[in-house]
Structure 1
């Protein structure tokens, strides 16, 4: 049995030696490096556009600004949630690192308010981050739970230290501080005058400081169902009624419509009587001429019909 000849293209295949792999250091091929550069470029461009336009920016705008095809954007980020979520999480992580760096500052009051102004400043220049902090915005572009929890934990450390030295209201929660920062950022974004914008931000920050003249915050509203009306019963009388068929007394119900029959037997018998009456009326012989000359009568009229000669 002859051996199958080796084709020339299979004989030219070579595997890299251990020395070659060691010299290369395991570096990714050029195509992988290009893909990483494109991804970094897309994230940078998306960060710029999201900061100015928010989550309404399109993939076409990102591709045009980056100088690549829109297909390249979709290859790296199949959906808008993937791209925008990555950018928003990166911005939130930067703020988390800033909060952690201030957690060991000597002055807890200065550390908290410094971070509060940093948070407002970042959300002013980054509209997408402002939308992410807002709980009423599109949930599709909200940061993941892990990043949000890490940010809230870092902010809680700063606020707890400030409360301990009497620099922050004790009834303020992390969620309320975050929403105040969003409100201050939105106000600053809508104002054209920078001095006036930061004056408003300073006034909002002043609401965080404890003051004996300030009224305490009201407790969270509790939704309570209204009491049912007293006259919801449809039964007008509680007196005993009588069966429409046999005449036996019927006990009045507490709610609902009053009963007409004393039980299922009378109810079924009355149903059969009504069905028999309908069949008798439908099959009764009537003269065509008499029907034409007879006066129009009500369906429920009783009494003998007048005969025509």
Structure 2
């Protein structure tokens, strides 16, 4: 999909903008959102003013990057919803989100609300990531696969925990273990078989 930000730009300006985006994508993915704009400019071989002309704020720079990320995640959510039973679709997409955040520290920062409002960014793209994630949660609850007392804020907090665990250890096995714990914790608690009362026992 053509980048809307390139429309009307001269060829050299388009090259600069594309180079800044390329470097920013790599930097944010590897190091998170804390990478300063002047460092991105240095790595791209342009001046800070050049970056600012294309992206007046750091948020606008990440907005340009996150749009494609959000679009891809929404597409995956739709595919999972179409191909999986509601009881499994929510957990499958939870794992997709955790894996995406593990590969891209900038996206992980955004998903846990560290320095960037991904909800606003998603709304601006026309791809509502939360709406799809929330729908998968509701469908799983209606199917009896997820506890009814869990709300979307709980799910986001659990996802943040998985992403933080990945960052602390850089160990995929640790993330997988934590996701398994999340799965077990979100499943409805089995009701224990009713035990006969003392009176019932005496009357037998």
User: Which of residues 78, 81, 87 in structure 1 aligns to 2:59?
Assistant: 81
Q: Computing the radius of gyration over CA atoms, which structure comes out larger, 1 or 2?
A: 1
- Aligned pairs (5 A) from 1:101-250: 101-135=79-113, 137-138=114-115, 141-143=116-118, 145=120, 147=122, 150-212=128-190
Match of 1:54 in 2: 32
RMSD (Å) for aligned C-alpha atoms: 2.5
Residues 1:36 and 2:14 aligned together = yes
- Structure 2 distance, partners of 1:41, 1:213, is 58
| Distance change >3 Å, CA 106–CA 191, structure 1 → 2 | closer
| Distance change >3 Å, CA 209–CA 144, structure 1 → 2 | closer
Alignment coverage as a number of residue pairs: 183
2:165–2:174 CA contact under 8 A, matched in 1: no
* Higher RCO (Cα < 8 Å, 6 or more apart): 2
Structure 1 residues 114-152: Cα deviation after superposition (integer angstroms, max 9, x where no partner): 1111100111222222222224x33xx213537258111
From the two aligned structures, give the one with the greater helix fraction: 2
The alpha carbon displacement at 1:46 in A equals: 0.9
Structure 2 unaligned spans of 5+: 1-6, 193-204
- Structure 1 distance, partners of 2:18, 2:184, is 40
| Distance change >3 Å, CA 39–CA 199, structure 1 → 2 | same
